[in-house]
A and B are shown apart, each in its own frame.
Chain A
Amino acid sequence: EDEDLSDSEDSVYSGLEDSGSDSEDDEDEEEALDAAADDDEEEEKEEQAQRVEFTCQLTADWLRLFSVFSCRMSPDIRNTVGNIPMEWYRDFPHIGYDLDGKKIYKPIRNKDELDDFLDKMENPDYWRTVHDKQTGSDIILSDDQVELVNRLQRGQFGDVNFNEYQPSVEFFSKDVMIHPVTNRPADKRSFIPSLIEKEKVSKLVHAIKMGWIKPRRVEDDSRGRYYDLWSTEDSSILAKHKMHLPAPKIPLPGHQESYNPPPEYLFTDEERALWEQQDPSDRKLPFVPVRFSSLRQVPAFPRFIHERFERCLDLYLCPRQRKMRVNVNPEDLIPKLPKPKDLQPFPTTQSLVYQGHSGLVRSISVSPSGQWLASGSDDGSVRFWEVRSSRCMKTVQVGGAVKSVAWNPNPSVCLLAVALDSVVLLLSPSLADRQVVSASERLLSGQDEVEPAEGAGPVTWGEAEGEELNQGIRLRIQHPKAVHQVVWHTKGDYLASVMPDHSSHLQVFIHQVSRRRSQNPFRRNKGLVQCVSFHPVRPYFFVATQRSVRIYNLVKQEMTKKLQANSKWISSMAVHPGGDHVICGSYDCRLSWFDLDLSTKPYKMLRHHKKAVRGVAYHRVYPLFASASDDGSVIICHGTVYNDLLQNPLIVPVKVLRGHVITHDLGVLDVTFHPTQPWIFSSGADATIRLFT
């Protein structure tokens, strides 16, 4: 209301002012904008200004600007009071002063509310009537002015013709001008130290010195927010989990990749053919080196994209895993065998040759004292040799090819068992002390009267007579079939003989010399018996058939073990003097060592021989064993047996002894060790016996 009142007062004064102006009917002339504005305003402005809705939005500035603009052409009736609150003139009849200093009187306001309302209803220009507070008059805006107001309200430029999108000329541009923007010389202050700053600094320094201000503390980050969480952890554990493996780098290009490779890198025709044949993954080079005369002629690499792609795949898709592979030298896995040099003594060289036989020497045996050697040959003779001089001391013609000789191991008797045809002869060579000779004679001749009790058996005992007696033959044990082997028991009283026969159970006989009795221990035929042996200590009896070795307990009369030799045909067998180990030679070139405590399978198979193994032997004292073969060689092996059950025997081949001449495809037929020295005797098909020491 207040405002309204003032408005009405204003309009009163402005009406007074308007009186001097022109007629107010011209509204639409554009040319006479100013004149029309001036003229019309005086009258209608007051009323209209109250009615136009946007009046309030028009600021006084706009109006003033507008009036300045319009006053330029016409007599100026503008108020000179300035931008002051108009209510200061509320109580005065005038509203301000014009340019000449005369009072501008408030127009006479005689309009009341009703007039105003009527004016609003009737005056068509009411909406464009604006009340000018400074003059207190109502101004009716022309069309141009309304248009201008509308434009401004829309945020457009007031001038219709102004092109806001005209091309601009940039003051700062990329172009370097030859003239500087300003040619003003540099200030003096730009090159002399600032006194103010110096003063400021000295103040700060003084303050720091006095301790008024403290320099900003640098924050210590060493044990701050960021630290290694796993630094205390063991690095080896950490390394275990470090599974990242960077992809291998692409090798640098070499001569092959060159556009002009040296000729040795170019493919020959075969190489090219090979390259084309190979699977791409197998190729050594993924491309063919090609030669160009100049770099300019090198075409694009056709597989470039492909290779890049594969490389990318390799970089981020290829699963890489750290392989924990133990690098083991295969030679380290072989157990360290001691050198043969450290395993001495063993026979190394041939020392003596015992010559005299005319047929192949099938069997040899050394006397328990080691002084005599007996040999049986196919020429029908048994010869006795002095070991140390190789002199043949005695020759006994037995009249048949001798298959086997065996010296009685008992040192208190001197007896030799000889197997030929179907007879086993017991010889007393009388190559010993008188008492030993007489003891053996007593053994043979004793218990005469017991004999006929069971003479009906398959074996008959007979005494030698006449010429045979003079030669030393004492007893003849007649067997039903051809005897192949005779073996003594360690005590020297029992004697086992072997008659290999497929069809009969009468293959093995055990004879007791002192009582002249023979018995067949086996009731059933378990296969072709190859050889037999007594256990050196316990009452066991080893029977080797073609593929297996059976061990019988003679006291309990039962089989205790059956050893499976993984060979086709066992030829020979020897029992370790300790009694816990057996070696078997076979016709398929193998030698198998059985550890009786370990298993029924061979502990070790030695395949050193080229041909059939004919004979095997253990040394009685030294840890040696030997095998003789048809390839003419004798192989000496070191075989230490430990008392400790946990330790397996140590088997080292130490020496190959050659010397025998292969005759009729037969090489060495029998081997035996000297009882006390590390010497070995071998008999061969070349009718000789050789001593290796």
Chain B
Amino acid sequence: MSQLQARFFTEDKRYVVDDVPFSIPAGSEVEDLSNVINKLLLAKNASHSKVDFDFLVRGQFLRTSLSFHMETEGISTEEVVEIEYVERVTAPEPEECMMHDDWISSVDAGWSYDKTVAGHTDVVKDVAWVKRDGLTSLLLTASLDQTILMWEWNSERNKVKARHCCRGHTGSVDTVATDPTGSKFCSGSWDKMLKIWSAVPTDEADEVEEPADRPRKKQKTQQLGLTRTPLMTLSGHNEAVSSVLWCDSEEVCSASWDHTIRVWDVETGGMKTTLTGSKVFNCISYSPLCRRLASGSTDRHIRLYDPRTKDGSLVLLSLTSHTGWVTAVKWAPSHEHQLVSGSLDNLVKLWDTRSCKAPLYDLAAHEDKVFCVDWTESGLMLSGGADNKLYTYRYSACQTDAGA
């Protein structure tokens, strides 16, 4: 068996080894390398306990034998190989399962809604937090009944109160997103429009020119809160808007069934760039850490885009493992490489962009279609689906591994 010259390094201060090249067998796999590092650490520090490591060769996770990996990546075996090692991410475990009465269509940082709880006349499609401080919090629900409701939640008394009813869409509102400052929110609807609304609760209703002979049930929903009208309408999509998010406080990014992702300027209301794909986009997510857009589409792929490219459709990376529509995708809030995705094939997958061939972990807890996934800042992963269950996963992302 041939030998390779390898030098190990890490950014984790706890597990630093000497910066000298080692000669290791070319056929060694992750386990062998992990044993090598553990032995080195044990030699340095007698109190070291065994830690599992993962290894990165030129930014790609090692998943096969070292020689095979270098062959496929086209790395020369003549030189000293730089191998970075990180503590292995342990498998997320389903921690808690909350039963709901109906399908879970959306989850945002630990809260989910279904039709029975809220008071919409129709199915709730999306939820978003506006403010989560103190005893009262503000949250938004977008529904199939073409309205968005702003709720005030008193956590102490666990009571919700509808503050505003946002009318203006002529199709089911599929997605809603709050801007980083919490003063505005954006909604996307089946009627191909994006609308920007004010998220500040007031006590005055906006002027709405409603037809006088409006049906009775509409009047009933009106009583849930004060009517609010959109600040701005962004039109340009040719098909239903499936997902919307804020890149920063001035930029809104929307994905649509017309196979495009568009970036809008909120100040001017104009469209800035268009990324054209070949399939329907179901969901997008933006990571400020790595400045990448991740999109899930109906052709079962997760694609990463750079939103700053002008009118291009350059796919940076394609993650392929799902066997159904990718319905939800979310970047980790504290890790620049990790994202989680949910699909109609009942699976939630945890990905690392450094290992694009296969996901890090498959989370097969759901028994039916997964519709939504999210992260909490406390390191929990959430997923909800058509089996009425909201799963939380305890996930031990090592703190030091968080880039940035």
Contact of A433 among B171, B240, B344, B386 (CB under 8 A): B171
B55 within 8 A of A: no
What residue of chain B has the Cβ atom nearest to residue A436's Cβ? B170
Taking CB atoms, residues of chain B closer than 8 Å to A345 are 278-279
A243 shortest CB reach to chain B, Å: 62
Most interface-central of A352, A369, A389 (chain B CB within 10 A): A389
A21 within 8 A of B: no
Cβ of A676 and Cβ of B239 under 8 Å apart? yes
Contact of B146 among A386, A388, A433 (CB under 8 A): A433
Distance of A351 Cα from B327 Cα, bound (Å):
12
Contact of B371 among A389, A676, A677 (CB under 8 A): A389
B284 shortest CB reach to chain A, Å: 15
Taking CB atoms, residues of chain B closer than 8 Å to A566 are none
Taking CB atoms, residues of chain B closer than 8 Å to A349 are 300
- C-beta contact mask, B295-325 vs A, less than 8 Å → 1, else 0? 0001110000000000000000000000011
Given contacts A351-B325, A389-B105, A693-B325, contact A434 B214 (CB under 8 A): yes
- Chain A at the B interface: SS class: loop
Distance of A389 Cα from B343 Cα, bound (Å):
11
Cβ of B239 and Cβ of A433 under 8 Å apart? no
Contact of B218 among A352, A369, A434, A677 (CB under 8 A): A434
Cβ of B170 and Cβ of A435 under 8 Å apart? yes
Distance of A256 Cα from B213 Cα, bound (Å):
106
Cβ of B190 and Cβ of A390 under 8 Å apart? no
Cβ of B215 and Cβ of A434 under 8 Å apart? yes
What residue of chain B has the Cβ atom nearest to residue A351's Cβ? B325
B280 within 8 A of A: yes
Cβ of A389 and Cβ of B103 under 8 Å apart? yes
Cβ of A351 and Cβ of B344 under 8 Å apart? yes
Distance of A32 Cα from B240 Cα, bound (Å):
166
Give the size category of A's interface with B: 10 to 19
B149 within 8 A of A: no
Cβ of B170 and Cβ of A352 under 8 Å apart? no
Cβ of B240 and Cβ of A371 under 8 Å apart? yes
A391 within 8 A of B: yes
Cβ of A677 and Cβ of B257 under 8 Å apart? yes
B301 shortest CB reach to chain A, Å: 12
Taking CB atoms, residues of chain A closer than 8 Å to B257 are 676-677
A5 within 8 A of B: no
- A211-232 with Cβ < 8 A to chain B: none
Distance of A353 Cα from B182 Cα, bound (Å):
39
B244 shortest CB reach to chain A, Å: 16
Taking CB atoms, residues of chain A closer than 8 Å to B325 are 351-352, 693
Cβ of B170 and Cβ of A390 under 8 Å apart? no
What residue of chain A has the Cβ atom nearest to residue B297's Cβ? A693
Taking CB atoms, residues of chain B closer than 8 Å to A388 are 242, 282
Cβ of A351 and Cβ of B172 under 8 Å apart? no
- C-beta contact mask, A659-683 vs B, less than 8 Å → 1, else 0? 0000000000000000011000000
Taking CB atoms, residues of chain A closer than 8 Å to B171 are 369, 371, 433
Taking CB atoms, residues of chain B closer than 8 Å to A434 are 146, 214-215, 218
Taking CB atoms, residues of chain A closer than 8 Å to B347 are none
B369 within 8 A of A: yes
A393 within 8 A of B: yes
- B87-131 with Cβ < 8 A to chain A: 103, 105, 123
Cβ of B344 and Cβ of A371 under 8 Å apart? no
Taking CB atoms, residues of chain B closer than 8 Å to A438 are 215
Contact of A390 among B105, B218, B298, B369 (CB under 8 A): B369
Distance of A435 Cα from B191 Cα, bound (Å):
13
What residue of chain A has the Cβ atom nearest to residue B278's Cβ? A345
- A375-395 with Cβ < 8 A to chain B: 386, 388-391, 393
Distance of A388 Cα from B257 Cα, bound (Å):
11
- B234-281 with Cβ < 8 A to chain A: 239-240, 242, 257, 278-280
Given contacts A369-B190, A393-B123, A693-B298, contact A433 B369 (CB under 8 A): no
Taking CB atoms, residues of chain B closer than 8 Å to A393 are 123
- B133-183 with Cβ < 8 A to chain A: 144, 146, 170-172
B327 shortest CB reach to chain A, Å: 8
Taking CB atoms, residues of chain A closer than 8 Å to B371 are 389
Taking CB atoms, residues of chain B closer than 8 Å to A390 are 369, 386
Excluding A371-B190, A371-B240, A693-B298, 18 further A-B contacts by CB distance (< 8 Å) are: A345-B278, A351-B298, A351-B324, A351-B325, A351-B344, A369-B171, A369-B190, A386-B123, A388-B242, A388-B282, A390-B386, A391-B386, A434-B215, A438-B215, A676-B239, A677-B280, A693-B280, A693-B325
Can you list 22 residue pairs at the A/B interface with Cβ under 8 Å?
A345-B279, A349-B300, A351-B298, A351-B325, A352-B325, A371-B190, A371-B240, A386-B144, A388-B242, A389-B103, A389-B371, A390-B369, A390-B386, A391-B123, A433-B170, A433-B171, A434-B214, A434-B215, A435-B170, A438-B215, A676-B239, A677-B280
Question: Which residues of B pack against A, CB within 8 Å?
Answer: 103, 105, 123, 144, 146, 170-172, 190-191, 214-215, 218, 239-240, 242, 257, 278-280, 282, 298-300, 324-325, 344, 369, 371, 386
Question: Which residues of A pack against B, CB within 8 Å?
Answer: 345, 349, 351-352, 369, 371, 386, 388-391, 393, 433-435, 438, 676-677, 693
